[in-house]
Chains A and B, each alone.
Chain A
Amino acid sequence: MGIQLKFWTKFLLALMMPVLLACDDEVDIMLGSSTAVLNIDAWVNNKSELQTIKLTLSQPYFENDQLPPGVSGARVRISDDAGNWYDFTENERTRDGSYTWMPATGEQLGIPGRTYQLIVDYQGETFEATCRAGRVPPIDSITYKFEEGRGPIEDEYRAEFWGNDLVGKGDTYWIKTYKNGKFINKASEINIAYDAGISSGNGFDGVPFISPVRGKITPNEVDSDGQREPSIIHRDSLYVEIHSISLAAFNYLNEVIDQTDKIGGLSELFTSTPMANVSTNLANQNPKGSSVVGFFNVAVVSGKGKRLFLF
């Protein structure tokens, strides 16, 4: 369902949850056996830092004890439409499936408007994906605001970032937030924007990001009982980055939200869509060859940070 709407219903339902009859239990479910598939996690950007592409195999769904097995021995390259090649090399020591490329001074992977191709050769098969790097607006500022609690939410400080979407329809962004240097990585914290709004149908173009987007940089902290607790306290810092993503990547992250960000309980009445596989922009050159999952995106990044001082 439309994520705009999902946002609002989730908000309403989250507030009302305690009084509703629904019950939501964690259960043990037996899932059948299955074979692993190659997963290429290739999100690179124009920052001058080590760029990593991770190749792993999928695992049984409830494999909660082991990290995904790394895929060693692949050849991983990116080319662009200006004839440049970026070779990602495997760390021979760890062999954990990480393939890296370090930009030399002045080198940049991710120039707005340029199209990039990822080529992965593995066990005699070739997997490819393309991505056109998008443009990104600057972040003007980050602000903190005290909000009184509502329902189960206590009084807390909430953060917003300020910036205008670039004029012209169809810019898509992933807004990533780092709290005290650590990426806030819950499914419920995935923050994507289509122009200044949340979904493709919106009319928010060239305006400040709308409040659900700019306010979603506030981390979603919960205590051990799953109750929300104040997310930003004295001396916490937030660093916010806007990554330009392709429309395909925007759709992909939407699907990721659909499949991973569940609040359960009565909200299932609104959100219980069938479990479905997320899309991929990778393809095996041989359509009859092995399956592949994962995603390739080249981002252009802007960022800004600020620390909260209460006294």
Chain B
Amino acid sequence: MLINKLRPHAAHCFILFILMVLTLSGGAFGQARYTISGTVKDSTNGETLIGASILSKEAKTGTATNSYGFYSITLPVGQYRIEFTSVGYSTIVKNIDLKANLQIDVDLPSKVQSLQEVKIVDKSVGGANARNIEMSVNRLDIKTIQKLPALLGEVDIVKSLQFLPGVSQVGEGSSGFNVRGGSVGQNLVLLDEAPVYNSSHMLGFFSVFNPDAVKDVKLYKGAIPSQFGGRTSAVLDVRLKEGNMKKTEVEGGVGFIFSRLSVQGPLVKDKSSFLIAARRSYIDAVASAVTGDKFGLNFYDVTLKSNYIINDKNRVYLSGFLGRDNFGLSDDAKFNWGNKSATLRWNSLITNKLFSNVSAIFSEYNYNLAFNQDANNQYAWHSSIANYVIKPDFSYFISARSEIKFGFEGSYYRFNPSNTKGITNGEPVDNSLERKYALEMAAYASHQWQVTPRLEIQYGFRFSRFNYLGPGTAATYNDTIPGKRRTVVREKHYERGQTIASYQNPEPRFSLKFGIDDQKSVKASYSRTAQYVQFISNTTASNPLNVWTPSTNNLKPTVADQYTLGYFMTIGTTGMYEASVETFYKKSVNEVDYINGAELLSNKYLEGDLLSGKGRAYGLELYLQKKKGDLTGWVSYTLSRSELKIEGINKGNWYAARFDQTHNLKVVGSYTINPQWSATADFVYTTGTPTTYPNQRIVSQGYLIPYNSNESRNDIRVSSYHRLDLSIRMEGNPLRRNGVPRKNRDYWVFSIYNVYGRKNTFSEYFLQSTQRVTANTPLQADAHRVAIIGTMVPSVSYNFKF
């Protein structure tokens, strides 16, 4: 169906490609072979395990469970000892006499949980795993995240990502994160497959992901698999827990800023479960009590998940998210924003080798701004992006050495740039802008193939197409002076369903792993990615008012090519240390920047204020992790550069992107003192973000205006950023006074963020003194430096589970 909509030529290429893949993986047609398939779960709560290993020593091969805990491995007839393992769980071994297809579902018992679970970093955080083909991927499990010292004691997923190589942030208070020199809007952030258009609460201090509901977090920085597309920088794939299948469980925490509570449990034992997790901040209530002023700054979110096992072969999942931030003053001035999303998924095992998942997704981000002076003078503003996605995805497990993934993705967008209604002195005025519509489609296939025991390749292809659709008005702009606002020469109206502009891009993806020995490997990758919706933000840090806009007849999609090369090793026979060196080079076209004085909001002719040019980013990422012992942790260092070249900015020369950071060092260490106490410290050092200074002043109508006679951009750095955080965790007593084990568990976290209270520079600005000026006296100029968090921030939180 979808494929029909692709151009015939492209469709042919695509079918040819699938046939080629099938032929290449031909090994399957020799001797009699049978398939073992099934699901691996946690025995205590029935949660499916992602990435659990299924290994056969005899066949010297293995596989891993997918995002739904499913695995399939096809082996020749014979006797096998199959090992099922997952980090943090006891291994289960099954002796199998393989002479027919088998379904084996395994429940892995978790290791003694009470103490081991607090040990940091068992999984391969740095992607340093020398055996896996994946590169430029970081996986963080929730237990690792929970150990990092967090701002105000609240565990946060996006903040934890900052500790990984290649990941940075412009500063405290900025929404989102930057990966390998890409902008915030170039990351595809998925919550159970639903795109999240603003991942922040409270202006970036917290992310929307409730850690109590999150099962798995994976960040793809490069070598992006072909099932993902639509963004040029990175993919953050957050998966929610399914909910405890065995018993009802309540978890929660009380902190300075907000409290969390989650409940999960079976609806029908071993058949259906649910999870509901909620958070609500109360800084507004606290602040009102202290200052007596009535204002609001709060957020809440609710994460929901449920699933139902229809039978051995079919299972459905429903996930939902609703979050809202309120920022305002009583009833007459308010500003709020938030996401909502829903994902309905259907897993189906078509044969024991063919696994399918079909997802239907809805996601929306919107914000409202309202001001009421009185009944005759009001103003209300609303803006949103809504997205409907259908995504059938198939995995075909040809043999233990060969797996094909293919699927389609159809995504419909509705942009509401600004819906503005006002009343001035009793007269109503409607100032809304036209909505915009678009359809993005993609078909993809990839083949992962272990060519020899040492050489493994994964090659794939994604073909994407984007239609900017009517109804709508398309403006044509003149080409004037580079860097200046362009004016409209003509406008044309299009009817519903008419295509105003369309783009398509073939997106090849390739990666290769060569194992030097069991402990060392070299990996390389190439990936092309295309981005058809742009995030419009020209402030140092992105903020909730930033809007998304589609590619149009004027705004072309960004296309990026990324090359990576890496060396991965495990040190010591017990795998005590892992280390990696990765380099990347990325170049892109149609990167967006802005004219001076651009009006990005409620501007009908926004595109006249946008500039387009080239981008390039390159860097070196070093990573060393100690995985075992009382002291664990990692050191990550990134040396990189991210630049843009846009006509009309910096005299048309290359200049540093605003999130460019030359050096980026992170050190994380965690020490288990005894079964009750553990401590974690982290240190961050990054080069200051680039900025622009004036060198001259001009006076115009009595106003002092900064002027840069070099017309340069981002040629100066603010002072470097560094910060030390500490946290101590105290486990509650696992025994009652009478020595009987307690049913519930609890722990305290004491933390200090920014221990030495450094005022890290967020921005520097220049202005005329705010005192009134008398005629014929020189104007007084000042420079100011802003630190978003300029002190140390201590906190305590109490967490429980029963």
B800: CB under 8 A from chain A? Answer: no
Known: A1-B545, A188-B770. A22 touches B601 (CB 8 A): no
When the two chains form their complex, are residues B766 and A275 in contact, meaning their CB atoms are under 8 A apart? yes
Q: Which of B297, B599, B780 contacts A199 (CB 8 A)?
A: B599
A9: CB under 8 A from chain B? Answer: yes
When the two chains form their complex, are residues B543 and A269 in contact, meaning their CB atoms are under 8 A apart? yes
B391: CB under 8 A from chain A? Answer: no
Known: A27-B783, A64-B780, A269-B788. A37 touches B762 (CB 8 A): no
A148: CB under 8 A from chain B? Answer: no
Q: Report chain A residues within 8 Å CB of B713.
A: 274, 276
When the two chains form their complex, are residues B762 and A268 in contact, meaning their CB atoms are under 8 A apart? yes
A200: CB under 8 A from chain B? Answer: yes
B410: CB under 8 A from chain A? Answer: no
When the two chains form their complex, are residues B293 and A151 in contact, meaning their CB atoms are under 8 A apart? yes
When the two chains form their complex, are residues B203 and A29 in contact, meaning their CB atoms are under 8 A apart? no
B704: CB under 8 A from chain A? Answer: yes
Most buried by B among A11, A258, A273: A273
When the two chains form their complex, are residues A36 and B768 in contact, meaning their CB atoms are under 8 A apart? no
Interface string of A16-30 (1 = CB under 8 A from B): 101101111111110
Determine the distance from Cα of A24 to Cα of B788 in the docked complex, in whole angstroms: 8
A298 to chain B, nearest CB (A): 14
A201: CB under 8 A from chain B? Answer: yes
Q: Report chain A residues within 8 Å CB of B714.
A: 274
When the two chains form their complex, are residues B759 and A277 in contact, meaning their CB atoms are under 8 A apart? no
A61: CB under 8 A from chain B? Answer: yes
B652: CB under 8 A from chain A? Answer: no
When the two chains form their complex, are residues B778 and A65 in contact, meaning their CB atoms are under 8 A apart? yes
A194 to chain B, nearest CB (A): 11
Q: Report chain A residues within 8 Å CB of B785.
A: 24-25, 27
Known: A8-B371, A37-B696. A279 touches B765 (CB 8 A): no
Q: Report chain A residues within 8 Å CB of B425.
A: 162, 207-208, 211
Known: A207-B424, A264-B765. A151 touches B696 (CB 8 A): no
A272: CB under 8 A from chain B? Answer: yes
Known: A25-B784, A31-B694. A186 touches B602 (CB 8 A): no
Q: Report chain A residues within 8 Å CB of B768.
A: 187, 260
A286: CB under 8 A from chain B? Answer: no
CB-CB nearest in chain B for A5? B601
Known: A5-B381, A256-B700, A256-B705. A203 touches B600 (CB 8 A): no
When the two chains form their complex, are residues A277 and B767 in contact, meaning their CB atoms are under 8 A apart? no
A270: CB under 8 A from chain B? Answer: yes
B575: CB under 8 A from chain A? Answer: no
Q: Report chain A residues within 8 Å CB of B784.
A: 24-27, 262, 264
Interface string of B503-545 (1 = CB under 8 A from A): 0000000000000000000000000000000000011110101
When the two chains form their complex, are residues A203 and B429 in contact, meaning their CB atoms are under 8 A apart? yes
Which of A78-86, A125-133, A287-295, A302-310 forms contacts with chain B? A287-295
B285: CB under 8 A from chain A? Answer: no
Determine the distance from Cα of A272 to Cα of B787 in the docked complex, in whole angstroms: 13
When the two chains form their complex, are residues A278 and B705 in contact, meaning their CB atoms are under 8 A apart? yes
Determine the distance from Cα of A265 to Cα of B784 in the docked complex, in whole angstroms: 9
Determine the distance from Cα of A199 to Cα of B606 in the docked complex, in whole angstroms: 13
Which residues of chain B (214-245) have a CB below 8 Å from chain A? none
Number of interface residues of A (CB under 8 A): 99
When the two chains form their complex, are residues B597 and A5 in contact, meaning their CB atoms are under 8 A apart? no
Determine the distance from Cα of A50 to Cα of B593 in the docked complex, in whole angstroms: 44
Determine the distance from Cα of A268 to Cα of B767 in the docked complex, in whole angstroms: 13
Which residues of chain A (38-60) have a CB below 8 Å from chain B? 39, 41, 43, 56, 58-60
Determine the distance from Cα of A11 to Cα of B785 in the docked complex, in whole angstroms: 21
A137: CB under 8 A from chain B? Answer: no
CB-CB nearest in chain A for B762? A268
Q: Report chain A residues within 8 Å CB of B484.
A: 279
When the two chains form their complex, are residues B782 and A26 in contact, meaning their CB atoms are under 8 A apart? yes
Determine the distance from Cα of A64 to Cα of B783 in the docked complex, in whole angstroms: 12
Interface string of A178-207 (1 = CB under 8 A from B): 000001111110100000110111111001
B723 to chain A, nearest CB (A): 14
Determine the distance from Cα of A26 to Cα of B429 in the docked complex, in whole angstroms: 42
Q: Which of A22, A61, A190, A199 contacts B786 (CB 8 A)?
A: A22
When the two chains form their complex, are residues B295 and A16 in contact, meaning their CB atoms are under 8 A apart? yes
A62: CB under 8 A from chain B? Answer: yes
Q: Report chain A residues within 8 Å CB of B329.
A: 12, 15-16, 150-151
Q: Report chain A residues within 8 Å CB of B692.
A: 274-276
Q: Which of B429, B697, B701, B782 contacts A59 (CB 8 A)?
A: B697
B741: CB under 8 A from chain A? Answer: no
Q: Report chain B residues within 8 Å CB of A187.
A: 703, 767-768
Known: A28-B783, A39-B700. A278 touches B291 (CB 8 A): no
When the two chains form their complex, are residues A269 and B173 in contact, meaning their CB atoms are under 8 A apart? yes
A124: CB under 8 A from chain B? Answer: no
B427: CB under 8 A from chain A? Answer: yes
A139 to chain B, nearest CB (A): 14
Q: Report chain B residues within 8 Å CB of A272.
A: 539-541, 762-763, 765, 786
Known: A1-B545, A24-B784. A8 touches B335 (CB 8 A): yes
B375: CB under 8 A from chain A? Answer: no
When the two chains form their complex, are residues A293 and B788 in contact, meaning their CB atoms are under 8 A apart? no
Determine the distance from Cα of A33 to Cα of B710 in the docked complex, in whole angstroms: 11
When the two chains form their complex, are residues B700 and A295 in contact, meaning their CB atoms are under 8 A apart? yes
Q: Report chain B residues within 8 Å CB of A66.
A: 778
B480: CB under 8 A from chain A? Answer: no
CB-CB nearest in chain A for B540? A272
Determine the distance from Cα of A43 to Cα of B371 in the docked complex, in whole angstroms: 35
Q: Report chain B residues within 8 Å CB of A262.
A: 765, 767, 784
Known: A18-B291, A200-B599. A63 touches B778 (CB 8 A): yes
Which residues of chain A (250-266) have a CB below 8 Å from chain B? 251, 254-256, 258-262, 264-266
B497: CB under 8 A from chain A? Answer: no
A222: CB under 8 A from chain B? Answer: yes
Determine the distance from Cα of A237 to Cα of B759 in the docked complex, in whole angstroms: 44
Q: Which of B369, B598, B699, B788 contacts A266 (CB 8 A)?
A: B788
Q: Report chain B residues within 8 Å CB of A106.
A: none
Which residues of chain B (758-802) have a CB below 8 Å from chain A? 759, 762-768, 770-773, 776-791, 793
Known: A39-B700, A63-B697, A207-B427. A2 touches B173 (CB 8 A): no
When the two chains form their complex, are residues A61 and B766 in contact, meaning their CB atoms are under 8 A apart? yes
Determine the distance from Cα of A68 to Cα of B297 in the docked complex, in whole angstroms: 45
Q: Report chain B residues within 8 Å CB of A123.
A: none
A31 to chain B, nearest CB (A): 5
Determine the distance from Cα of A303 to Cα of B642 in the docked complex, in whole angstroms: 53
Interface string of B50-89 (1 = CB under 8 A from A): 0000000000000000000000000000000000000000
When the two chains form their complex, are residues A31 and B695 in contact, meaning their CB atoms are under 8 A apart? yes
Determine the distance from Cα of A200 to Cα of B485 in the docked complex, in whole angstroms: 13
18 A-B contact pairs sorted by A residue (CB < 8 Å): A1-B598, A1-B599, A5-B545, A8-B335, A22-B762, A22-B790, A64-B780, A183-B702, A184-B772, A187-B768, A202-B602, A210-B379, A210-B422, A266-B173, A270-B543, A272-B539, A272-B540, A279-B596
**Footprint of B on A, CB under 8 Å?**
1-5, 8-9, 11-12, 15-16, 18-19, 21-29, 31-37, 39, 41, 43, 56, 58-68, 150-151, 162, 183-188, 190, 196-197, 199-204, 207-211, 221-222, 224, 226, 251, 254-256, 258-262, 264-266, 268-279, 291, 293-295
List of 7 A-B pairs having minimum Cβ-Cβ separation, nearest first: A2-B601, A203-B431, A23-B790, A276-B596, A255-B597, A34-B695, A208-B425
